[in-house]
Homo-oligomer: A and B are copies of this chain.
Amino acid sequence: MRIDHVAIAVNNLDQALKNYEKLIKVNNIHIENVTNERVKVAILNLEDTRIELMEPTAEDSPINKFLLQKGEGLHHIAITADNIEEDVSKASENGVKMLGDIRKGSYDRKITFIHPKSMNGVLIEMCEAVNH
């Protein structure tokens, strides 16, 4: 397991990209609409880790709610699972609370989320490794 990416809620993707490119050397940027979550994401590919900037595309997007409540900032971290079904079911058995089932996220890979109450206030995504 390793940190796959950190995801940041932003009001405006273009403006945020300008800020991030002042500081961080980015190999390439992948833009994607994740319709499930009603967000547009800019995935900044660094050396084998990623920063995802997320802008809501609908009022009822969970990211829009986050922005209204807390403003721009860190939203979640994602950890690559070795085997997402096994890892998640083992954690569940140990009392870790999940947020929904395993589903498709960016790059069309399987993801799920862990409840922040189980993780000292941190929203954690478990995801498959990216093969691209």
Chain A contacts to B: CB under 8 angstroms? 1-3, 5-6, 8, 10-11, 16, 19-20, 22-25, 46-51, 53, 71-74, 77, 79, 82, 87, 91, 94-96, 114, 116, 118-122, 124, 126
A5 CB contacts on chain B under 8 angstroms: 3
Contact of A49 among B3, B122, B124 (CB under 8 A): B3
A45: nearest residue on chain B (CB-CB)? Answer: B2
Q: Could you show 13 A-B contacts with beta carbons less than 8 Å apart?
A: A1-B25, A3-B46, A22-B118, A23-B79, A23-B91, A23-B94, A23-B124, A24-B79, A46-B79, A49-B49, A74-B74, A74-B77, A74-B121
Does B2 lie within 8 Å of A119, measured CB to CB?
Answer: no
